[in-house]
Structure 1
Amino acid sequence: MDILVKALHSKGHSITVVRTTQSWYIKEESTYYDSITVPVAEGVNEDFVNSILGKLLDIERGKSSALNLFYLEMMALDFLTSVPRMICEMTRNMFENTDLMNDIKERDYDLVLTDPAWGGGILLAHYLKLPLVYNVRWVTSGEGHHSIAPSPLSYIPMNMSGLSDKMNFVQRVKNMLFYFLNQAENIFLVNPVYQAFCDEFFGPEVKFTELMQGADLWLMRVDFVFEFPRPTMPNVIYMGGFQCKPAKPLPPDLEEFVQSSGEHGVIIMSLGTFVSGLPTDITDEIAAAFAKLPQKVIWRHKGDRPATLGNNTLLLDWMPQNDLLGHPQIKLFVAHGGTNGVQEAIYHGVPVVGLPLFFDQYDNLLRLKERGGAIVLSMATVDKDNNFLEALQEVLHEPSYRMNMQRLSRLHRDKPMEPLDSAVFWIEFVMRHKGAAHLRTESYKMPWYSYHSVDVMLFLVTVVLLVVVLFAALIKCVCVRVFFRRKIQSE
């Protein structure tokens, strides 16, 4: 979101960012936005995420896959109930502050830009009666496309299912079960929290699902170089890789280390900002695998120095990831599969060994794997039987991985307009026209039986059955009359 805010500021727009006292990344003071800070008791902060990550690692490395699945589902259910409650607490604290809301109304904003994974911006836009624009991959109920566009389950995989767009019968059954599970979670856990808020502040006639689906514009953080082909809608604008940019020169000391790799090149590893540290046995196994390679390694690492660390590996608290990925000496990216890292790998054409941890990372890496640009390992197997070392060697020595990623890079870059410029244009379009109703379908207001034409099909079946019954009755009547006529004649 910060990238979009900066881009809008550079075009002369004034932006106010709503944050909470528990905000992790969003600073209260900035040179390119004003802020409104809402007091809350809980938030999705570093402690909250790290507690989830620690439990996930313990679950993934458990011995029973059936129990692992059960524990993962229990964690998901807990997350799906706690986060909406936090978001509604923040929004309630805003709405009950009369002075704050009057001040916001007096500022005469043009639109609300929000990530619909959190429902607060959706509620605020309705309260202020402003056009609504999404920076979106996920909504409160799951993947964004499933909420707005036709999504046939025969070839569109549900998130977290581990499936691609090419499914056999058993996989389609699995996909359907994941769909029912997702629907149940939304109907019984997520939506009731937001709907109770709507009932309290807007009245029961206002449905949260309709507010969520009724956004003017969906700026989708993917494109079809990355995403599986699927139906879409006119108000979905694809800006996949909008954060990517050409590499800048590296700092002198880092450039010297990269150049010292010679013909073997460099591997970079980063598991993202969320991961403060992995268990010691895993980091030791990873470090030992790196030490056996001729390549130099730059590893963004927090925590204790691994005991098996080789002389070829440089540990850093932070590294210029985009600039390193764009360096010609980089041969491989070991990544957790976050959207930003995956898009940057595509942009620069660098193959990936993936170590997914949570949320959308499995799905992101699956899409690279299906396109021949990545190998994906789980945390449960990364420290077993040299799996990690073999994956590194496979991607380094098999040229198809790099060739496939470079092909994706060429496809991604071959566009008439940069994704960030496209996003800014469409945001300004909504400002100029006070919305984009002409691009928005009203299908979300239809009941499910009308949307799927169940009522029409029942009507047509009833008509056909009625015609058949009448025809059968007519035939029967004719046959009876003929029978009696012949009987009379014979008598």
Structure 2
Amino acid sequence: MGLIANRLLCISCLLSVVVCSSGGKILVFPEDGSHWVNMQVILRELHTRGHNLTVIRSSRSFYIQGSSPLYTVITVNITQTEAVDAGIFGTLLQRSIALRKMMPIVRFFEQQKDVKKMLQIFHNGALSLISAILDDSFLTRQLQDTKFELMLVDPAFPAGVLLAHYLQLPMVYNVRWLNAGEAHMAIAPSPPSFVPMYNSLFSDRMDFLQRAENSLRYLFSRLQEHFIILPIYDKLLKTHFPPGSDLLTMQRTADIWLMRIDFVFDFPRPSMPNFVYIGGFQCRQAQAISAELEDFVQSSGEHGVVVMSFGVMVTALPKEITEAIASAFARLPQKVIWRYMGERPSSLGNNTLLLDWLPQNDLLGHPKTRAFVSHGGTNGIYEAIYHGVPVLLLPLLFDQFDNAIRLEVRGAARVLEVSTLTSNDFLEGIEDVIKNPSYRSSIQKLSQLHHDRPISPLKSTVFWIEYVLRNKGAQHLQSPANSLPWYTYHCLDVLSFLLVFILVALWVLVTLCRLLCCRPKRKQKAD
């Protein structure tokens, strides 16, 4: 019996070696915060399939762990003078609330000033990281000698893109945002007539004034890209890359773009062959929650529970808003589970449980959950869609306002304005979401559509990553438009030629008319 057991153990070891040896060497360049939350989901799946993963992180990272059983970690020490840390999001939140109280025209220009400042801060942070890597000859030699086969990049900031090109590796993007806008804008047509721009708060059906503002936002985003972002990397490109290297061209050459979008939620728009839509890939079936938490949920009886979380970046709201929400919760018959890390609100009711962390996906999948109160983060919204839970949204920062509009126009959520929020406003809003069956009906319809697909988003994600590994790229899916200059892409050279041709033709026509019509008549001979 012992001999058989030993043979089985040897066979198992050999099989594990075969599985591991079939895996590829993947270099991963993630972004921090909520972006890292969903990148981890992909890494766990790749690890189970035997791939060898190496993650590059900054020494200033506040969510990416310095060690993991799933992957090897390379920590890069940077000496950035203006550090980007978790505390910056509290400052941004205060500024966002102040902006919401301004007149729309004033808010627009103040937003552009804020966007300029934030782009400079975050892109200079990315520059510090990639500079530290490329200036370290030992590290770059180590990366080259490892013979990675693929680079998995979150390109919200281009440090990973630049490293992939330096190492000449095929690229797969885990992406939604790129530079100053939505990633589609980089290589797919994005007409501002029906594609709402970042922070526009418009749907895809705009009236004339909205299209005018949306076009202005489109112009601003292009100007920000060319005059704020690109100059930041000029010196680095001249130092470490061949002459004529261009950041925008580099960004467009990813083999596969894994887009964190599902058009069940987002608005339809032009696409490209190498775009793979994986919105909701981080969602999964609900697992059993802890016995203590289950007891609290069951104590709600027929009324059920409300779950509230504002993601990983915002742990607490300003005190007056927190007190208004806590007071409203205290008047609900439902039990409330609230992820909260600030000072305990004085108006908190006995029906509300405060937790530093909560199993959000598992609670949203619980049959007793009646509503989800969220800031509108993409991960939370897709989990609500996955489990069919109606949402009360209080957008605070970045794309959360746009996400809120998208879910609101689908009829699956109600949106409240945080800057003017009162306890009565919040109570009326949460009761509406719980009691009005249209919200639950709408989001369950979205959930049905989201699940009705031939392959899950996560399996699709892994398939396309391994597709690039097997085929050493996917250049056949890339459009030639990626390498065209802007004037050629828009056929401005053709239009210029046609304009010159028409002008020359008109000039010739006018000249001929003058010659024919203005010739002097011959004098008739006298009799």
TM-score range, shorter chain: over 0.9
**Counterparts of 2:505 and 2:105 in 1: how far apart (Å)?**
53
How far does residue 48 in structure 1 lie from its aligned partner after superposition?
A: 3.3
- Say whether 1:414 aligns with 2:452: yes
Offset, 1:65: 6.1
Match of 1:469? 507
Following superposition, the deviation at residue 204 of structure 1 comes to 4.1
Which consecutive unaligned segments of at least 5 residues does structure 1 have? none
Summarize the alignment of residues 455-466 of structure 1 with structure 2, pairs less than 5 Å apart: 455-466=493-504
1:388 to 419, 423, 426: 426
Cα distance, 1:63 vs structure 2:
6.4
2:53 counterpart (15, 24, 27): 15
1:445 to 483, 503, 506: 483
What SS class does the counterpart of residue 179 from structure 1 fall into? helix
State the partner residue of 2:77: 39
Report deviation, 1:9: 1.0
> Residues 132 and 217 of structure 1 are in contact (CA less than 8 Å); yes or no, is this contact kept in structure 2?
yes
Cα contact 1:44–1:83 (8 A) shared by 2: yes
| Contact 1:349–1:405 (Cα < 8 Å) also in 2 | yes
Deviation string, structure 1 residues 26-60 (Cα, Å, up to 9, x no partner): 11111010011000134543233333334434x24
Instruction: Tell me which residue corresponds to 2:362.
Output: 323
1:33-182, aligned counterparts within 5 Å? 33-42=71-80, 43-57=83-97, 59-60=98-99, 69=108, 71-182=110-221
Q: Give per-residue Cα distances to partners, 1:160-184, cap 9 Å, x unaligned.
A: 0111100010000000111122122
Answering whether residue 515 of structure 2 is matched by residue 484 of structure 1, we say no
Matched to 1:83, the amino acid is F
2:225 counterpart residue number:
186
Question: How much does 1:79 deviate?
Answer: 1.1
Q: Select between 437-446 and 335-344 the one with higher mean Cα deviation.
A: 437-446
Give the structure 2 partner of residue 350 of structure 1: 389
Counterpart contact for 1:244–1:343, Cα < 8 Å:
yes
Match of 1:271 among 307, 310, 330: 310
Q: Which amino acid aligns with 2:65?
A: K
Offset of 1:7 from its aligned partner? 1.1
- CA-atom RMSD in angstroms: 2.0
Matches within 5 A, 1:248-259: 248-259=287-298
1:424 and 2:428 correspond: no
One-letter identity of the residue aligned with 2:311:
G
* One-letter amino acid of the counterpart of residue 91, structure 2: S
Residue 69 (structure 1) shift:
5.0
Say if 1:353 and 1:375, in contact at 8 Å, map to a contact too: yes
SS in 2 for 1:15: strand
Distance of aligned partners of 1:63 and 1:162 in 2 relative to their CA distance in 1, 3 Å threshold:
closer
Aligned match of 2:20 = none
Query: Does 2:60 match 1:27?
Result: no
In structure 2, what is the Cα distance between the partners aligned to 1:261 and 1:337? Answer: 26
Mapped partners of 2:515, 2:100: distance in 1 = 75
Task: State the AA in 1 paired with 2:333.
Answer: P
Do structure 1's residue 361 and structure 2's residue 391 form an aligned pair?
no
Q: Is it true that 1:373 corresponds to 2:373 in the alignment? A: no
| Contact 1:302–1:317 under 8 Å retained in 2 | yes
1:282 equivalent in alignment to 2:327: no
Q: Tell me the distance in 2 between the aligned counterparts of 1:364 and 1:115.
A: 20
CA distance in 2, matches of 1:468, 1:96: 60
| TM-aligned CA distance change 1:453 to 1:66, over 3 Å | closer
Give per-residue Cα distances to partners, 1:368-391, cap 9 Å, x unaligned: 01111111122212227x221121
Q: CA deviation at 1:4?
A: 1.0
TM-score between the two structures when normalised by the length of structure 1: 0.95
**Correspondence for 2:282:** 243
Q: Which moved more, 1:257-266 or 1:351-360?
A: 257-266
Does the residue aligned with 2:201 lie in a helix, a strand or coil?
coil
Question: What displacement does 1:93 show?
Answer: 1.1
- 8 Å Cα contact 1:219-1:238 kept in structure 2: yes
Q: CA deviation at 1:232?
A: 0.4
Name the amino acid aligned to 2:92.
Answer: I
Which range moves more in the overlay, 19-28 or 37-46? 37-46
CA distance in 2, matches of 1:107, 1:85: 28
Q: Is the 8 A contact 2:172 2:255 kept in 1?
A: yes
Query: Are residues 1:196 and 2:221 paired?
Result: no
Shifted more, 249-258 versus 208-217: the winner is 249-258
Q: Which of 41, 47, 64 is the equivalent residue of 1:3?
A: 41
Quote the offset at 1:476 in angstroms. 4.1
Partner SS for 1:353: strand
The answer to whether the Cα contact below 8 Å between 1:60 and 1:379 also exists between their aligned partners in 2 is: no
- The one-letter code sitting in structure 1 at the alignment partner of 2:508 is L
Aligned position for 2:254 = 215
Residues 157 and 165, structure 1, Cα contact 8 Å, conserved in 2: yes
Report how far residue 189 of structure 1 moved: 1.3
Cα distance 1:469–1:74, how it changes in 2: closer, same or farther (>3 A)?
closer
- 1:264-293 C-alpha deviation (Å, 9 max, x unpaired): 221111011111221221111001111122
Maintained 8 Å contact 2:315/2:339 = no
Deviates more, 1:111-120 or 1:193-202: 193-202
Q: Secondary structure at the match of 1:46?
A: coil
SS of the equivalent of 1:41 reads coil
Percent sequence identity over aligned pairs: 46
Q: Partner amino acid for 2:70? A: Y
8 A contact 1:355–1:379 mirrored in 2? yes
